[in-house]
Amino acid sequence: MGSAAWWVFWSAALLTVLTTPLIRRWLVFRQVIDWPEARRSHAQPTPRGGGLAIWIGVLIALLLVAPEPALLPLVAFTSILALLGWLDDRHDVPVAMRLAVMLMCAAGLVWIVGPIPGVSIMQRELGGVWIWSVLGVIGVVWMINLHNFMDGADGLAAMQGAWSGGILGWLLYRSGAVEPGLLGMALAGACAGFLVWNRPPARLFMGDVGSIMLGGTVGLLAFVGAATGAVSIWISLIVCALFVVDATATLLLRVVRDGQWYTAHREHAYQRLIRSGWSHTRVLLLYAGLNLALVGPLLLLALGRPDWDWAIALLLIALLGFAWTVVQKRTLEGAPNSG
């Protein structure tokens, strides 16, 4: 069991590795460039929009290895978000329009996958299908946006996409949710392939076309897990905890501090570390190391003790929240950026 999943993973990885330099040349030709500025963490003009290669890798890998009709709605979901991100990379789509498209896509999951019947805590099912489904839709929209916020350091979003897509995809595939599982494995492979070109120092950025599609696909996998019962929402939260905590805590801080949560900033923990002198490589290794040394073991514990997955998830959120607070207090405002 699982050979198709691994074929999809490696096919997507290889396709993305081979496609990315071609996409980069085209982006340079079209002058789709991220120019250095005060709120960004890079010092050199760098092509953006490389997420097109991730989308191509996912799409072609699924078509070649697993051309299942049931995958069509899922691929359509990711493709609409990729198109939205590409338009935003080129034309700066208004915030209201972006949110409207994201909400429509997320709401479409209720029709594609089905509603979320409930959430389990201490082996007790808390019902309320429409409450949980609405919260699930909001959660998917937040996953889209938080991945967009966290795509600001070389290799960081690609690393997390490989991590989240691979783990959630494999858990879904193993539990019988084959099509979304294959989508997750394809996303993981494509992100791993893109990381070859996006690792520090990045030769191109994924842009909104990549981060919006990535966040939406991870949100889709979590929604499918909750709706089908294949993967509990607590397990999904554990897998995605690093990005969820950094983005959510930073948003809440900005709301409390000045209410201007919607303005551009560099207050996420990874941004504060870079501004204080950390290199992009060091930040990437820190986040990858936390996934391996902290998130991974707690994930295995939660999988082995499903009756306590909620408590393990909350423990992890508390630990990462404490680490986020330490970074916020110990990094200096306006510290030099070492890139």
Domain ranges within the chain, ordered by starting residue:
3-330
Residue 71 has pLDDT above 80, yes or no: yes
Residue 39 has pLDDT above 80, yes or no: no
SS3 for 200-242 is CCCCCECHHHHHHHHHHHHHHHHHHHHHHCCCCHHHHHHHCHH
99: which 2 tokens? Answer: 């949110």
Q: Could you report the per-residue pLDDT of 213-249, keeping only the tens digit for each? A: 999 999 999 999 999 999 999 999 999 999 999 999 9
| Total Cβ atoms within 10 A of residue 17 | 19
Q: CA–CA separation, 224 vs 140, rounded Å?
A: 11
Residue 262 has pLDDT above 80, yes or no: no
Residue at 182: amino acid letter:
L
Residue 338 has pLDDT above 50, yes or no: no
Q: What is the pLDDT of residue 63?
A: 93
| Total Cβ atoms within 10 A of residue 116 | 27
Q: What is the pLDDT of residue 336?
A: 45
Q: Could you report the per-residue pLDDT of 178-195, keeping only the tens digit for each? A: 999 999 999 999 999 999
What is the signed CA dihedral for 159, 161, 162, 165, rounded to 10 degrees? Answer: 160
Q: What is the pLDDT of residue 50?
A: 96
Q: Tell how strand 46-47 and strand 33-34 pair up.
A: antiparallel
What is the signed CA dihedral for 147, 132, 122, 241, rounded to 10 degrees? Answer: 0
Q: What is the pLDDT of residue 37?
A: 64
Q: What is the pLDDT of residue 255?
A: 84
Question: How far from each other are the two terminal CA atoms of the chain, in whole angstroms?
Answer: 44
Among 37-46, 150-159, 160-169, whose mean pLDDT is lowest? 37-46
2: which 2 tokens? Answer: 């699982």
